Amino acid sequence: MTESPDVPLRSRTTRAGLTLAGTPIGDPLDASLRLVQALREASLVAAEDTRRVKKLAAMLEIPLKGRVVAYHEHNEAALTPELVARMQAGERLLLVTDAGMPSVSDPGYRLVTACVEADVPVTCLPGPSAVLVALALSGLPTDRFCFEGFCPRKQGERRRRLEDLADERRTMVFFEAPHRLAATVATMAEVFGEDRRAAVCRELTKTYEEVRRGGLGELRDWAEGEVRGEITIVVEGAGTIRLDPDAALADVLGRVEAGERLKDACKAVGSAAGIPAPQLYDAAVAARRR
């Protein structure tokens, strides 16, 4: 069902269907007037954490009159059909997550898909986004970017994911848990090169907001210390190759002949040439076998 563009915005959030609502990523004062209105008037709220939405409502001095139900990764598969049925019966559901926009690395995608398939109207209340805030603060190109979510937790899978992105020319945005930050940035430095520019954004919009900018090698060393809070990483896209691949390979082989470790030579030459180190490593191994 395609919604008519002349339907007033207020009526879109009060009639039957689903409303996705972006919530503050840190400072509760970032809540929009439309979010305040929606929370105050909602008859049914689905929240990633019911305690968080109730705390937000209390901070905004909003009485939650409607029923609040938990909707998270552990119950969304079972609860989605029930929620869709309730919307089909005439209820308006407000969906919020702990912070930011539902369905962006948070619950919501499954429910939106079910609503689309069931021809249930879906609308959205825009709100704060850690992706866009970090991108704007990074100092890196913003004209083209991609969001890659969380890297895999296991080292091998994480490395393979990043190697797939080694030639990505757009600025890349990642989420990461603080206890995995050091390992992730270290792998990024290995795969993308230590000189690739990046920014680690911590606790965005909160009291202890911090943005660390520099090469991935520099950020790797910093991340080895204790880093806390919500983390967003922004990484510069791959630049134009500054050395011919054959010349870069010859440089690597020459360094190895002079006694440098193959892995270290590939990192150094790859970073200077704009060529992924794993690509140079594979080419050097093949050349040495020949």
Q: Give the helix/strand (H/E) hosting 84.
A: helix 76-88
Per-residue pLDDT at 148: 96
Quick check: helix, strand or coil at residue 208?
Answer: coil
The answer as to whether 64 is a domain residue is yes
> Alpha-carbon distance 9 to 107, whole Å?
24
The answer as to whether 134 is a domain residue is no
Closest CA to 270 of 217, 223, 231: 217
Same domain, 42 and 88: yes
Strand ranges inside the chain, DSSP E? 17-21, 44-47, 67-70, 92-96, 122-125, 145-150, 171-176, 197-202, 210-215, 231-235
Q: What's the total number of domains in the chain?
A: 3
The answer as to whether 83 is a domain residue is yes
pLDDT averaged over 10-residue windows placed end to end, the chain, 290 residues: 48 74 94 95 94 95 93 94 96 95 91 96 94 96 94 95 92 96 96 94 95 96 92 90 78 91 87 79 89
The answer as to whether 107 is a domain residue is yes
The answer as to whether 56 is a domain residue is yes
Same domain, 148 and 109: no
> Alpha-carbon distance 7 to 54, whole Å?
30
Question: What DSSP state is assigned to residue 80?
Answer: H
Same domain, 229 and 281: no
Q: Distance between terminal CA atoms of the chain?
A: 62
Contact 77, 2 (CB under 8 A): no
The answer as to whether 43 is a domain residue is yes
Same domain, 117 and 19: yes
Same domain, 157 and 121: no
Per-residue pLDDT at 139: 94
Last residue of a domain, one of 128, 158, 190: 128
Q: What is the DSSP string of 122-166?
A: EEEE----HHHHHHHHH-S--SSEEEEEEPPSSHHHHHHHHHHTT
Q: Which residues pair with 233 in a beta bridge?
A: 174, 200
Same domain, 114 and 143: no
Same domain, 163 and 212: yes
| Chain Cα centroid distance, residue 160 | 18
CATH number assigned to the domain comprising residue 54: 3.40.1010.10
Q: What does residue 68 show for φ and ψ, rounded to 5 degrees?
A: -115, 125
The answer as to whether 4 is a domain residue is no
The sheet that has 171-176: what strands, in order across it? 145-150, 171-176, 231-235, 197-202, 210-215
Same domain, 14 and 124: yes
CATH number assigned to the domain comprising residue 227: 3.30.950.10
For residue 230, give its domain range.
Answer: 139-235
Same domain, 168 and 275: no
Same domain, 257 and 278: yes
Same domain, 169 and 273: no
Per-residue pLDDT at 244: 76
